[in-house]
Amino acid sequence: MVRANDLRLIDAVLRGEILITTAAESVEPLLMLLEGYKKASAKIKDDFFVATGCTNDLAKLLITSPTAERTRAAERLDAETVRRRKAAKIIAAMLRG
């Protein structure tokens, strides 16, 4: 669960709302996807993008998204949101060690 960075799931386990084994089983497919993506070649990642529209390449997303969609996203992305997201990533990295 820590590797999946699923803080809500970790909290649910700590509160006794879900068994740790159930929680671990629920994140296993996600971890497999993430680990596979990290190991994938650039060609495989391109094929994955074509098939799903999912990528971690912001430039590719910007190039392929319609202007109206980019404008809506920019309107929602204020400075405070950016700061919160950066802080969340730093905290998650610290938790992973």
The model scores a pTM over 0.75: no
Domain ranges of the chain: 1-64, 66-97
pLDDT category of residue 22 using cuts at 50, 70 and 90: very high
Residues with Cβ within 8 Å of 5's Cβ and at least 6 positions away in sequence, in order, are: 92, 95, 96
Average of pLDDT values for 48-61?
A: 88
The token pair at 28 is: 């296993």
Question: Which of the listed ranges 12-26, 51-65, 82-96 does the model predict with the highest average pLDDT?
Answer: 12-26
Angle at alpha carbon of residue 87, lines to 39 and 92, rounded to 5° = 45
